[in-house]
A and B are shown apart, each in its own frame.
Chain A
Amino acid sequence: MELQQVFDKMLEILTPFVKDRGALARATKDTHLIDDLKVNSARMVDIIIESEDVFQVEIDDDEADSIETIGDAVRVIMGKMAPALNPS
């Protein structure tokens, strides 16, 4: 899966957790999940679980804690994906 595909998929995952859809439409890899998108910090757990299901990866707690921006999430997921799914 290409980086852009993972990024787009992350936006889909984030959609129900973000009330300001405009902020999501303007999102870049540097967009902060809590500060910019106002995601409730308690819901980060649900975003991690959803990401694990969608990308079929397992994200441990330390890795989850390192995710602050959309780019962080994409980086962690890209690093986890099987080579067959991640040609890059």
Chain B
Amino acid sequence: MKNNGVVITGLGVVSPIGHGVEEFMESLKTGRSGIRFIPELEELNFSCCVAGVPKDFNAVRAQYFSSHESSVMTEATAYAAVAALDAWRDAGLDVPNEDSPVDWDTGAIIGTGIGDMETIAQRIVPMVNGKNVRRMGSRIVEQVMNSGACARVSGLLGLGNQATANSSACSTGAEAVAEAVWRIRAGLAKRMVVGGTEGPSPYTWSGFDAMRVLPKKFNDCPEQASRPMSATASGFVPGAGAGILVLEDEQTAVARGARIYARVSGAYANCGGQRSGGTMTAPNNEGVLRCIAGALQDAGVHPRDVDSISGHLTATFADPIEVQNWSKALGLEPGDFPLINSVKSMTGHCLGAAGAVESIAAALEMYHGFLHPSVNCEDIHPEIAAFEERVVRTYMDYPELQCLAKASFGFGDVNSCLVFTKWNE
């Protein structure tokens, strides 16, 4: 097999902190929170009544699709479709018309963590229970199948390579990137449209609220609710959105003169096997260490060369454990530790989309040479006090940024880690 280098050439994002790369990056740089009070959650008697949801998305949809096209798409699919079209154009590629030839060299891996609970709750359950299946219409299956978003995107772009949806809970988005890296490296595709998407729904978030893993003390100050690495963190803020990246075989990208954001030099995914402290909902730390080490080895990067970490860092009790795991995996004490931040401090946790949205942030940081602030951690958690100076709490220019590691972890004791390195022509 050829070991092709893989680079990022296009980015598209629909997120709680903005639609499109420009708005998203501006929010990242200024530490602008996208967390809002959601009246519906209060009406439904949720403990946590805040969430990160893309704003004014109906207006965005209307710019991209006819009302009929739009009506067929769930929120998660529309997020992914908009982000994919943006990413495709951002990569300097033309969106093909419906009669274009199939692009056999390009595929898509677009996952989702939970699936479309909204359609299940609002349409399927009432209609089935009401003995009204006959009038459900033709769209239910494509709306609830996990590959629905990927299928829509592959159709819009005429993609003829593998088109699939991965699912590994909150590791989904980063895992999709890893899967695409391997496919391109193997010479099976020249280009992949990858990422994750998750729609907003009380039905999706209800299980987490029931688990008491969402914050309930910030309903009157939503922008302070997502507090990764903070002593007063009390749970993750549920979020929604989509992040889509165009990954490309290095030679192909260079040959067409594409703008390259960064190289994806390392990728690794594994599972802790739910042993040695690992459970359905908690990580086996050895699995995490192996995942991070595996990604660095894959990239050929020495731990000391990692300049920055984009953590999973959700604002639960697991944040200090995660920071300690990074320290162990890298073999670096606090004084030598990379700078670390959390996109979720502004977006909340976009579940299956999180790893992809955060990979887009990483690509932007690499390309433009900056690190975004991790907000709401003025009161650093005492268990990671030694790392306080390494936590990025205000925007910083960082033109010398050469290497950034990004990890995502998920229920099921699953892990994924990506290593991005600077593209130097």
Contacts and interface: CB of A to CB of B under 8 A. Distances in A.
Contacts of A63: none
B139 A46 contact: yes
A23 interface: no
A79 B395 CA distance: 71
Q: Specify the main secondary structure of chain B where it touches its partner.
A: loop
Interface in A10-60: 16-17, 19, 42-46, 49
Contact of A49 (B67, B98, B137): B137
B3 interface: no
B322 to A, nearest CB: 45
B68 A46 contact: no
Contacts of B137: 45-46, 49
Contact of A43 (B98, B135, B138): B138
A46 B98 contact: no
B243 to A, nearest CB: 29
Q: Give chain A's interface residue range (CB within 8 Å of chain B).
A: under 10
Interface string B59-94: 000000011100000000000000000000000000
Interface residues of B, number: 8
A50 to B, nearest CB: 9
Contacts of A19: 98
A16 B137 CA distance: 15
B68 A42 contact: no
Contacts of B135: 49
Contacts of A49: 135, 137
Contacts of A16: 66-68
Interface string B129-146: 000000101110000000
A42 B98 CA distance: 18
A45 B138 contact: yes
A39 to B, nearest CB: 11
Among B66, B67, B68, B98, the most chain A Cβ lie within 10 Å of the Cβ of: B68
Nearest to A43: B138
A45 B67 CA distance: 19
Contacts of B138: 42-46
A72 to B, nearest CB: 19
A42 B138 CA distance: 6
A47 to B, nearest CB: 9
Interface string B100-139: 0000000000000000000000000000000000010111
A60 to B, nearest CB: 10
B375 to A, nearest CB: 44
Contacts of B68: 16-17
Nearest to B71: A16
B185 to A, nearest CB: 37
A43 B98 CA distance: 18
Contacts of A46: 137-139
Nearest to B69: A16
B71 to A, nearest CB: 8
Nearest to B135: A49
A43 B66 CA distance: 17
A45 B134 CA distance: 9
Nearest to A52: B135
Contacts of A43: 138
Contacts of A42: 138
A75 B236 CA distance: 58
Interface in B41-73: 66-68
Nearest to B98: A19
Nearest to B139: A46
A17 B135 CA distance: 17
Contacts of B66: 16
A16 B135 CA distance: 18
5 contacts: A17-B68, A19-B98, A43-B138, A44-B138, A45-B137
Interface of A: 16-17, 19, 42-46, 49
Given A16-B66, A45-B137, A49-B135, 12 more contacts: A16-B67, A16-B68, A17-B68, A19-B98, A42-B138, A43-B138, A44-B138, A45-B138, A46-B137, A46-B138, A46-B139, A49-B137
Q: 5 nearest interchain CB pairs?
A: A16-B68, A45-B138, A42-B138, A46-B137, A46-B138
